[in-house]
Amino acid sequence: MPATQAGSTVLVTGANGFVAMWVVRKLLEEGYHVRGTIRSASKGDYMRKVFEDLGDKLELVVVPDIEKEGAFDEAVKGVDAVVHMASPYHFGAVDPAELIDPAIRGTLSILQSALKYGTNIRRIVITTSTAAMVRPTNTPIVFTEDDWNDASIQEVKEKSRDAPGYIKYFASKTLAERAAFDFVEKNKESIGWDLVTIAPPYIFGPMINELSSPSSANASLAEWYQAILESAKSPEELKTSGNAWADVRDIALAHVRAIQQPEAEGRITVSADSFNWHDWVDVVHSLNPSPYPPNSYVQSDPSYDPKTAVRLLNFDTTKARRVLGIDKYISMEQSARDMLEDFRSRGW
Is the pLDDT at 1 greater than 70? The verdict is no
pLDDT-based confidence at 301, cuts 50/70/90? very high
pLDDT per position as a tens digit, 35-72:
999 999 999 999 999 999 998 999 999 999 988 889 99
pLDDT class for 92, splitting at 50, 70, 90? confident
Which residues, at least 6 apart from 192, have a Cβ–Cβ distance to it below 8 Å?
119, 121, 122
By the 8 A CB rule, do 197 and 203 touch? no
In this prediction, residue 136 carries a pLDDT of: 87
Neighbours of 255 (CB within 10 A): 29
CB 268 within 8 A of CB 19: no
Task: Report the alpha-carbon distance of residue 135 to residue 201 in Å, rounded.
Answer: 13
Q: Residue 300: is it exposed, middle or buried by C-beta count within 10 angstroms (0-12/13-18/19+)?
A: middle
pLDDT digits (tens, 9 = 90+) for 162-183: 999 999 999 999 999 999 999 9
CB 106 within 8 A of CB 148: no
189: amino acid identity, one letter: E
Q: Is the pLDDT of residue 88 over 80?
A: no
Give the pLDDT confidence score for residue 243 in this predicted structure: 96
Residues 6+ apart with CB under 8 A from 159: 167
pLDDT, tens digit (0-9, with 9 covering 90-100), for 224-249 = 999 999 999 999 999 999 999 999 99
In the predicted model, what is the mean pLDDT of residues 257-265?
Answer: 97
Residue 23 and residue 127: Cα distance in Å, rounded? 11
Q: Is the pLDDT of residue 156 over 70?
A: yes
**Residue 97 CB contacts under 8 Å (≥ 6 apart), including other chains:** none
The domain locations on the chain are: 9-212+246-272+314-328
Residue 193: how many other CB atoms lie within 10 Å: 19
Cα–Cα separations (whole angstroms), residue 281 to 43, 164, 293, 331: 35, 26, 14, 14
Predicted local confidence at residue 67, as pLDDT? 86
**Mean pLDDT, residues 301-321:** 97
Peptide linkage before 201 cis (omega within 30 of 0): no
- Does residue 78 have a pLDDT over 70? yes
CA 22, CA 53: separation in Å to the nearest integer? 15
For the chain, the farthest-separated pair of C-alpha atoms sits apart, in whole angstroms, at 61
Is the pLDDT confidence value at 87 over 90?
A: no
According to the model, what pLDDT value does residue 2 have? 63
Q: Which residues lie below 8 Å from residue 343, measured CB to CB, with a gap of 6+?
A: 214, 225, 229, 291
Task: Identify any residues that bridge with 126 across adjacent strands, giving them in sequence order.
Answer: 84, 197
Task: State residue 224's pLDDT score.
Answer: 98
Inter-residue contact 208 to 166 (CB < 8 Å): no
CATH class of 9-212+246-272+314-328: alpha beta
Q: What pLDDT does residue 346 have?
A: 96
Other CB atoms within a 10 A radius of the CB of residue 326 amount to 21
Backbone angles phi, psi at 62, to 5 degrees: -90, 125
Residue 300 DSSP class:
P
Write down the mean pLDDT value for the chain: 95
Question: Rounded CA gap, 107 and 84, in Å?
Answer: 8
Local structure of 269: helix, strand or coil: strand
Dihedral angle computed from the Cα positions of residues 62, 200, 125 and 326, in that order, rounded to the nearest 10 degrees: 130
The pTM of the full predicted model, rounded to 2 decimals, is 0.96
pLDDT > 90 in the chain, percent: 90
